[in-house]
Amino acid sequence: MTSPSRRPARQQGAHQPASAGTRRPRRSGGRRSGAPQQQRPARVAPKPAMPEEVLWTAPESGLPTFAALGLPEPVLRALDAEGFTEPRPIQAATLPETLRGRDLLGRGQTGSGKTLAFGLALVARLAGGRAQARRPRGLVLVPTRELAQQVVDAVEPFAKALHLRQAVVVGGLSMNRQIDTLARGVDLLVATPGRLTDHLNEGTCDLSAVEITAIDEADRMSDMGFLPQVRRILDRTPADGQRLLFSATLDNEVSTLVDRYLHDPVTRAVASAAAPVETMDHHLFMVDRADKNRIVHEIAAREGRTIFFVRTKHGADRVVKQLRREGVQASALHGGKAQNARNRAIDAFKDGSIPVLVATDVAARGIHVDDVSLVVHVDPPGDPKDYLHRAGRTARGGESGVVVTLVTAEERRDVDTLMRQAGVSPDVADAAPGSASLVDVTGARRPSGVPVEAPKPPQQQPAAGTGRRRRSSGRGGPARQQTGGGQRQQAPSVGQRGRRGGRGGSPRNAA
């Protein structure tokens, strides 16, 4: 692949001057000398002008091949080995630009393939370089721990094909182990803002060598209050580095982020921001409050993977306890759970041993599991973005899915408004335990009523030849083997999960 052209230098972490004739007015450094100046009302800063967004459509000849996009040969072989036969639209739309070194503002719906859209660009741009201690060369910022691991897992085969080392830096895992991994050198670092800020403050990570940065789900980071940390992180990266930003919406603080840190970005969108996925069926069930729990139990007893959404951590734990008493194996997923418990829940959901997840909005972005056929809003979400993000856990990658919202009479008006704002026209029906409408749409059935026990975490066992205990892998399987004498394992190789440990770091990033 030809080397990319040099990018114009930009002042570190600041607004860049435009070309002649379009230069922004400069602020005065203070009052002018001489006669007192008449006070004037403060001017309101104009809203940053966003690049014009045009929906990308595939050419009449069809989508190009991965080879035509300009990816390196080792990546093409890895794509073939992983079963990827052709690019998704968001990948075909963005890769020709990002592989040339352009800054990118991208938007695609959940499940559209945007993780590989930026992941393939990152590994291709980093190919051939060598990482130095504590100085990653590529950076991906994401809002949640689960999403960080999803990115690492998705990019793993392609990073490995180019002999690039990945690492994940998130809250809830051992700070010391992350320090060890960074000290060994990392090509691509995937991080949440809170924990990365901890490392920057401790001097255990230096971003001055970052060549390319991707910011995923910027709108969600804005909702969670992470953008001040994101700005401080970007201020530590070279101003002339390449930057890719993906966001479902481009409003509020996100537009300021684009204006400040992206240089002449190309925009690529493959669907309207308000458009629901076409392969989703949306249903609104009017229910009596007294029947709501029984309806949830019957839906949970169906065949297939199901995700229930509730508003609070306490509500998630309560629903899980009720389901287990009714004979339905379920797990809660929320910010109050330890990271290893959250990983075990997602892994068990993926392998089918736990068919039901009960989640809060904080945890929703970390659920990237195929073949989720039903999403149920037990508690209606607070705004249309949350509705679409929750719903996006089903109908991924063009598959079909069903989204059900349980609504009581007093919630009806607010939910109708929310649906209009989300661009959704649901089918509306009354539902009761055992009703035909409930069974037809969800496959609900009466649960067994035989209580099931909560899955037990893997037991720690003494390592061979020592009196120490192995650390749990944090997954449902056995602990990873340690080297003799209780020595540390090697730092996580490309795509490997880091070992689990103490929480440490910023509590803000516990989500």
> The tokens of 23 are what?
């230069």
Residue 251 has what pLDDT?
Answer: 65
Residue 84 has what pLDDT?
Answer: 92
Residue 85, C-beta contacts closer than 8 angstroms, at least 6 positions apart: none
- 289 and 422 co-located in one domain: yes
In 3D, which of 387, 98, 100 has the Cα closest to residue 243? Answer: 98
Query: Does residue 385 belong to any structural domain of this protein?
Result: yes
CATH of residue 379: 3.40.50.300
Query: Does residue 115 belong to any structural domain of this protein?
Result: yes
Query: Does residue 336 belong to any structural domain of this protein?
Result: yes
Residue 79 dihedral angles phi and psi, to the nearest 5°: -60, -45
Contact 291, 433 (CB under 8 A): yes
Q: Of 214-228, 278-292, 447-461, which range is least confident?
A: 447-461
Residue 288 has what pLDDT?
Answer: 97
Q: Is the per-residue pLDDT at 23 higher than 60?
A: no
- 284 and 348 co-located in one domain: yes
Residue 321: its H or E element: helix 313-325
Could you report the per-residue pLDDT of 167-207, keeping only the tens digit for each? 999 998 899 999 999 999 999 999 999 999 999 999 999 99
- 302 and 425 co-located in one domain: yes
Could you report the per-residue pLDDT of 143-163, keeping only the tens digit for each? 988 889 989 999 999 999 999
- 237 and 288 co-located in one domain: no
Cα 381 to Cα 385: distance, rounded to the nearest angstrom? 9
Query: Does residue 299 belong to any structural domain of this protein?
Result: yes
Angle at 494 between CA 490 and CA 500, to 5 degrees: 55
Q: Is the per-residue pLDDT at 444 higher than 90?
A: yes
Angle at 192 between CA 186 and CA 194, to 5 degrees: 115
Q: How confident is the model at residue 37 (pLDDT cuts 50, 70, 90)?
A: very low
Q: Is the per-residue pLDDT at 283 higher than 80?
A: yes
> The tokens of 416 are what?
């109708």
Most confident of 48-57, 108-117, 307-316, 328-337: 307-316
Structural domain that includes position 389? 280-442
pLDDT: which is higher, 43 or 302 = 302
> The tokens of 284 are what?
């609104």
- 309 and 409 co-located in one domain: yes
How many folded domains does the chain comprise?
Answer: 2
Contact 86, 68 (CB under 8 A): no
Q: How confident is the model at residue 111 (pLDDT cuts 50, 70, 90)?
A: low
Helix, strand, coil proportions of the chain in percent (round to 5)? Answer: 35, 15, 50
Cα 112 to Cα 91: distance, rounded to the nearest angstrom? 9
Q: Averaged over 218-239, what is the pLDDT?
A: 92
Query: Does residue 238 belong to any structural domain of this protein?
Result: yes
- 236 and 341 co-located in one domain: no
What's the mean per-residue pLDDT of the chain?
A: 80
Could you report the per-residue pLDDT of 426-435, keeping only the tens digit for each? 999 999 999 9
- 404 and 315 co-located in one domain: yes
- 197 and 294 co-located in one domain: no
Angle at 434 between CA 430 and CA 435, to 5 degrees: 30
Query: Does residue 497 belong to any structural domain of this protein?
Result: no
Query: Does residue 3 belong to any structural domain of this protein?
Result: no
Cα 126 to Cα 159: distance, rounded to the nearest angstrom? 9
- 418 and 307 co-located in one domain: yes
Q: Is the per-residue pLDDT at 404 higher than 80?
A: yes
pLDDT: which is higher, 269 or 511 = 269
Residue that finishes a domain, picked among 425, 442, 459: 442
pLDDT: which is higher, 406 or 17 = 406
Residue that finishes a domain, picked among 442, 463, 498: 442
For 175-279, strand residue ranges (E) read 188-191, 212-215, 242-246, 266-269
Query: Does residue 477 belong to any structural domain of this protein?
Result: no
Residue 247 has what pLDDT?
Answer: 83
- 75 and 210 co-located in one domain: yes
- Of all residues in the chain, the percent with pLDDT exceeding 70 is 74
Could you report the per-residue pLDDT of 361-373, keeping only the tens digit for each? 876 666 777 788 8
- 373 and 399 co-located in one domain: yes
Residue 250, C-beta contacts closer than 8 angstroms, at least 6 positions apart: 50, 53, 105, 107, 219, 258, 273
Residue 206 DSSP label: -
Total Cβ atoms within 10 A of residue 291? 17
Contact 400, 279 (CB under 8 A): yes
Total Cβ atoms within 10 A of residue 496? 19
Q: Is the per-residue pLDDT at 36 higher than 60?
A: no
Residue that finishes a domain, picked among 401, 418, 442: 442
- 208 and 330 co-located in one domain: no
